[in-house]
Structure 1
Amino acid sequence: MSRPILEVIALDTEDAVAAEAGGADRLELVTDMSADGLTPSVETFSAVRAAVDLPVRVMLRATNGFAAGDPEALAALCARARELRAAGATEFVLGFLDPSGGPDLAALDALLRELDGCTWTFHRALDHATDRTALRKAIAELPGLDTVLTAGTAEGVGAGLHVLCGEAARAAAGDVGYEARIMAGGGLNLGHVPALRQAGLDAFHIGGAARLNGWSTPVSAPAVERWRASLDA
């Protein structure tokens, strides 16, 4: 197997520098983890981009939950995406559900027009969808999509481990809708890694696990190093 991807959530330059020092491959840049991660400021993105050499995926999400909001809210998020693109952002994280629990394709289309082919991750909105398989098929051909971040279930990786392993098998079999790389994240811990690696997963996403005392403390380079060593074992 090739070296697995380790993505670490960063809130600022301190987090970004520590994640890079610990061996992370990529950052997910967000703000306000009390709302599960919202879009950071352009200033924060620019500071992080200047501080590290790692790829930086920027969250596009204005409020807690998985709704894009009303037309005014969506327009504001599109404007922020334009500002981030102008500042040099080339990778993003997004994903919205409509009231029925399916993918909000209109909102996704509006934002993807602003991203103009940039690579992006469909985040854990998948874990709250009414029909996971239908959602994956619906978004499969959206431009730039290369990763789906999922715990397998809204309850986290511990409860969704069998789902992740099953979807890895579907990806390996070439099933329609499973072309994007599966990135495991959401309550992920080191104890989950062996089964996920055995199933063929090669991308992992951590946030609180990269910190010594949860979200009240910054990313710890030694904590990231432990993950790097475990994934590479």
Structure 2
Amino acid sequence: MKKNQLEIACFNYESAIIAQESGADRIELCENMELGGTTPNSILVVKVRESVKIKMHVIIRPRGGDFVYSDEELTEMKQDIKQYKKLGVDGFVFGILKPNGKVNKRQNKELVHLAHPLSCTFHRAFDVVDSIEKGLEDVIECGFQTILTSGTGKNVEEGIFDLEQIQKLAKDRIEIMPGGGLRSSNIKLLQDKLTPTFYHSSAITDNSEIANPEEIKELRNFL
């Protein structure tokens, strides 16, 4: 039977260690929290992989801003995937759109194919697609295993009804992972609406970029 699990977005080594020690099932490793998370440098990836035994996904996002990438940026993303596959990561997190808000199937498929057999998550680029229904089908067609989304809202509370709708439309063909402002204070609201899934949180509760171990434990208590 499927159960709820917890992924912690980690912007540094300290958070990755805290996430593991506090009971997270998986980490999403990235840097530059102020940009919404970008590709971490290889030194950080190696250091975390050597210390963390739980599953570790790495975000592949060359810069902040929109999710429309040039051929040069796509080449950079491919190089990062090739390099990090060799370092023993468990999956990748990325998402590419066209300027009109549609999923760029060609570019995403290229990266998913390159990442194979590792799992790929389509990140919160999904929150700005022009159509939830079409975007969902396109992401599934590209071969992703998971969509990280706030339900197209500013946060999961605002997007709660769309999250419920997206999960119903997905019909178990792809995992819908709520993320964006998810904390122990609102996770119960989502659980009342959603079937068991992965939940995504940075678990940061102050002005630092370090995950709060007590918040992670509190999130785990709800799962």
Q: Structure 1 length as normaliser, TM-score?
A: 0.88
Ranges in structure 1 where 5+ consecutive residues have no aligned partner: none
Query: 1:110 and 1:169 mapped to 2: Cα distance?
Result: 28
Give the 3 Å change call, closer, same or farther, for CA 222–24 of structure 1 in structure 2.
Answer: same
CA deviation after TM superposition for structure 1 residue 72, in Å: 1.3
Deviations along 1:87-140, one digit per CA (max 9) or x if unpaired, are 222301011110110001122122223212310111111110100110111121
Correspondence for 1:105: 105
Q: Decide whether the 8 Å contact of 2:183 with 2:219 is kept in 1.
A: no
SS at match of 2:157: helix
Counting matched residue pairs gives 222
Matches within 5 A, 1:67-216: 67-143=67-143, 145-171=144-170, 174=171, 179-199=173-193, 200-207=195-202, 210-214=203-207, 216=208
Q: Which amino acid aligns with 1:225?
A: K
Greater share of helix residues, 1 or 2?
1
CA deviation after TM superposition for structure 1 residue 201, in Å: 4.0
Query: 2:133 and 2:59 mapped to 1: Cα distance?
Result: 24
Correspondence for 2:222: 230
Q: Decide whether the 8 Å contact of 1:124 with 1:149 is kept in 2.
A: yes
Deviations along 1:179-217, one digit per CA (max 9) or x if unpaired, are 11111101123343223212214221001xx12314x24
Q: Which amino acid aligns with 2:222?
A: S
Q: Structure 2 length as normaliser, TM-score?
A: 0.92
Give the 3 Å change call, closer, same or farther, for CA 139–169 of structure 1 in structure 2.
Answer: closer
Percent identity between the aligned chains?
Answer: 27
Q: Which amino acid aligns with 2:57?
A: R
Deviations along 1:145-176, one digit per CA (max 9) or x if unpaired, are 211111112411121111112223334xx3xx
Ranges in structure 2 where 5+ consecutive residues have no aligned partner: none
SS at match of 2:165: helix
Q: Which amino acid aligns with 1:23?
A: G
Give the 3 Å change call, closer, same or farther, for CA 14–46 of structure 1 in structure 2.
Answer: same
Q: Which amino acid aligns with 1:147?
A: T
Runs of 4+ in 1 over 4 A off after TM superposition: none
Query: 2:168 and 2:86 mapped to 1: Cα distance?
Result: 39
